[in-house]
Chains A and B, each alone.
Chain A
């Protein structure tokens, strides 16, 4: 219906509904009263039976299942037409997707095919005087822009962790609708030849409660060994700025920032990171940032709760030693 909100339900590689889907459902649920519509959740994939109830208890009124082996893995040429047809049939006012590897590819193409526009990497969607407004960071996070739309539906991708998911409510009821999928094999022009995984060992960066990150100020790859030592003591993960990754000092999969990962640990320790806005975009939700940098004017300090103005080479060995002593003392107790 013309005032519904359609959420694109994304799956993890393991085939479960991804956390971003619950965040989108939360955002949609909060938006629904102002629009007077329902929350639809479209899930595309293969073997989707278990997911409907999960989407419903997290806020969906109607789950649309496009279940087909041709949708097993994301391929733009397969997903775009299926989602396009669903949106045309259901006619929602708003379509929400995650700002993920898939959303970045899918949302602009969907918008182009539907003859409408998309706001990418948004952090807020609201209704004011009957108009949908979308707010998103721009200029590498230095500024924010609020957009209105001249075309319908409004499409927006939302940044990971910018929205709170709802409390799971097992008593929630909803409908499940299986939709016919006819993927035109000839229309899928791209072909995936292979995948290479670069999974880090230990705690996943996105899930870590403590993240220790290094930047250009480390001066070389060696410093990351100390960050790994500290992260391990704290039960955390190691991240890196784009500058450090581009220099080849640390794997790209650990990159935190606008073009890397968004992290939300309880504690973020930034070592030798100047705080370029592109990096800050990846930690904008973090409340407790410790920055260690010898430049007292470093931008990172503005966002930090605790600032240590010193050479990291002097600080880290002492910090590691004292944290180890603390942890050992705790273990003895």
Chain B
């Protein structure tokens, strides 16, 4: 029987947005999208899809489903993953869930994953590149009652088990877990493949299945956030930068070394 891998993806403001264009609405506690810069799929999540595609490249008979929770615009992130090579896309779009914290997000995604059962592997990014929290993946494992291996640089499926190279501070460890399991992936896995034009056109024609909370048997009134964002702001930087002057490189280096010696740093 085909192996079924479910990848969770999120759409985020482009993290390459220049810091000078990064704005926050402090009253609404939200980031203001930079004009002219389109949101992108969170990169760790597309690396998760890449991990799933590599498993399919190795094993052949693998179905890859992509699940996302968010407004209609998140369709673009799902379509990107379909163009990369995923088979099916599912969007949980419910206005009642748009302010969900990581706990509610995990609850909803867990319900969607259960609706897509049977499944063998759930892959998420190590963290979304907007809130940088890194909580949804491990929480999914707890809610689904299955093993969890975090921060993977390599994911293989062998003999009904997942074998993961997990990044450590100074190296990595190889961890094995029975399926089904949750794995969160890191950038050390490698760049996600870029969709070809033909794949983008094919993905454009694919239907994305849309669900509401009710479709998953959930009552949004029962899904209470566990944290509240009390404030969101851009931290002040208090550095006075001295641009080292000089007509030649020699002069600049001399002046820099003089400054470093004055500050007793070398």
Contact = CB atoms under 8 A, between A and B. Distances in A.
Interface stretch (A101-109, A165-173, A215-223): A101-109
A261 interface: yes
Interface residues of B, number: 86
A143 B233 contact: yes
B143 A117 contact: no
A39 to B, nearest CB: 24
B242 interface: yes
B132 A190 contact: no
Contacts of A57: none
B54 to A, nearest CB: 16
A117 B226 contact: yes
Given A194-B174, A305-B241, A144 B142 contact: no
Contacts of B225: 150
A148 B266 contact: no
Given A150-B227, A267-B265, A197 B170 contact: yes
Contact of B171 (A121, A195, A267): A195
Interface string A139-172: 1101111111111000000000000000000000
Interface stretch (B17-25, B79-87, B197-205): B17-25
A192 B173 contact: yes
A140 B13 CA distance: 11
A88 interface: no
B252 interface: yes
A210 to B, nearest CB: 8
Contact of A198 (B106, B130, B170): B170
B35 interface: no
B72 interface: no
Contacts of B249: 310, 314-315, 318
B201 to A, nearest CB: 29
Contacts of A138: 130-133, 232
Nearest to A191: B176
Interface in B135-193: 135, 137-139, 141-143, 147-151, 153, 163, 167-178, 181, 186-188, 190-191
Contact of B176 (A109, A146, A193, A319): A193
A306 B227 contact: no
Contacts of A307: 241-244
Given A191-B176, A242-B187, A146 B244 contact: no
B227 A104 contact: no
Contacts of B253: 315, 318-319, 322
Interface stretch (A26-34, A41-49, A62-70, A295-303): A295-303
Interface centre among B139, B143, B227 (most CB of A within 10 A): B227
Is chain B's interface secondary structure helix, strand, loop, or mixed overall? Answer: mixed
B102 interface: yes
Contact of B254 (A120, A136, A306, A322): A322
B252 to A, nearest CB: 6
Given A139-B130, A277-B19, A326-B257, A252 B167 contact: yes
Interface in B97-131: 101-103, 106, 126-127, 129-131
A111 B177 contact: no
A236 to B, nearest CB: 10
B224 A150 contact: yes
Contacts of B57: none
29 contacts: A76-B148, A108-B137, A119-B133, A120-B135, A133-B230, A137-B132, A139-B31, A142-B19, A143-B232, A145-B29, A145-B231, A145-B232, A146-B229, A146-B231, A150-B224, A150-B226, A191-B176, A193-B173, A196-B171, A253-B170, A266-B265, A267-B260, A275-B19, A276-B15, A289-B239, A290-B256, A305-B240, A306-B244, A318-B250
Those 8 A-B pairs whose CB atoms lie nearest each other, nearest first: A117-B226, A112-B142, A108-B138, A189-B147, A146-B231, A108-B135, A193-B174, A197-B171
Given A109-B138, A138-B232, 6 more contacts: A108-B142, A118-B135, A143-B235, A150-B224, A189-B177, A323-B257
Interface of A: 76-77, 100-101, 104-105, 108-109, 111-113, 116-121, 133, 136-140, 142-151, 189-200, 210, 234, 242, 245-246, 252-253, 258-259, 261, 266-267, 275-278, 288-290, 296, 299, 301-310, 314-315, 318-319, 322-323, 326
Interface of B: 13, 15-16, 18-20, 22, 24, 29, 31, 101-103, 106, 126-127, 129-135, 137-139, 141-143, 147-151, 153, 163, 167-178, 181, 186-188, 190-191, 224-235, 237, 239-244, 249-250, 252-254, 256-257, 259-261, 263, 265-266
